[in-house]
Amino acid sequence: MNLAELWNYMLLDMEAERFGNEMRQSAKRKLLLKQTEFLKEQQAKFAKVEADIEQLAQQLDELKKEADRLNALLGEIIEQNQDVDALDADALSERMTAAERLLASLNDCEKQIENVRREAESAERSQTEIKRRAAKTKAEYDAVKKEYDVEFAQDKVKLKQLRDKAEKAAASLDKADLDRYKQIKLHCTPPMARLVNNQCTGCFMTLPVGTLREIKASNEPHTCDNCGRLLYPQD
Ligand SMILES: [Zn+2]
């Protein structure tokens, strides 16, 4: 195993990886994700308010029908009472009571109509506000997206260059070595560490004397007993 070559490959591999991570951490990208989230929320809110408005409109419709019905009944009583002379006192009083009851119901109904109307107005206002906020965010999103697209296109080129450089270095490596490297990388990054002053510089554990002796005695590469990184002894 050529540790120096593998180490060199790792530096290039890590550089490409770091750059890829930086791309994902881009401030513009994060902002776009946040804005997308916000827009989704506004969409959900808008749909809910829209459903509320529809329900309130139905309520208003029903209440108006009820008011019309009560008004018609009241009209009938008034009509019948035109001929006051023909009524005796008891019948008159009965009709007056009925009329008063109807009026009270009508008042109640109108109050309800007023409440529902106010509620509907308030819902419409919040709908307008949601629309305004969403439009503002969408405009901001579009502006950031335009800038991000340029940034991303440039970064993609750079990332490809870094990856190509690493792949070029990988081409001269032994396949088994590269496989081992990749295996370690699955649970440990970076997958290699220098061995300095009997210490693994990946996890800073001092290696047992036995392991150190083995490393010195053989040409075989060793991994750290603690973190599993491939050790690169410093000359
Ligand atoms: Zn270690």
Centre of ligand 1 from the C-alpha of residue 196, in Å: 11
Q: What is the mean pLDDT of residues 86-111?
A: 88
Rounded Cα–Cα distance for residues 167 and 187 (Å): 21
**pLDDT at residue 31 tops 70:** yes
Q: How many CA atoms lie within 13 A of 50 on its CB side?
A: 8
For 155-203, write each residue's pLDDT tens digit: 999 999 999 999 999 999 999 999 999 999 999 999 999 999 999 999 9
Task: Using the structure block, give the residue that is written with the tokens 């009026």.
Answer: 103
Q: At what angle do helices 3-24 and 175-185 cross, to 10 degrees?
A: 40
Q: 3-state DSSP call for residue 196?
A: strand
pTM of the model: 0.74
Does 194 lie in the same domain as 109?
Answer: no
pLDDT at 235: 63
**pLDDT at residue 81 tops 90:** no
Q: What is the mean pLDDT of residues 91-101?
A: 88
For 40-57, write each residue's pLDDT tens digit: 999 999 999 999 999 999
Rounded Cα–Cα distance for residues 85 and 16 (Å): 104
Query: Where in the sequence is the domain holding 14, given as residue range(s)?
Result: 3-172
Q: Which of 122, 138, 172 is the last residue of a domain?
A: 172
**pLDDT at residue 83 tops 80:** no
Does 138 lie in the same domain as 221?
Answer: no
Centre of ligand 1 from the C-alpha of residue 195, in Å: 9
Centre of ligand 1 from the C-alpha of residue 215, in Å: 14
Centre of ligand 1 from the C-alpha of residue 202, in Å: 5
Q: Which of 120, 145, 172 is the last residue of a domain?
A: 172
Domain CATH code at residue 72: 1.10.287.1490
How many Cβ atoms are within 10 Å of 109's Cβ, its own excluded? 19
Does 182 lie in the same domain as 166?
Answer: no
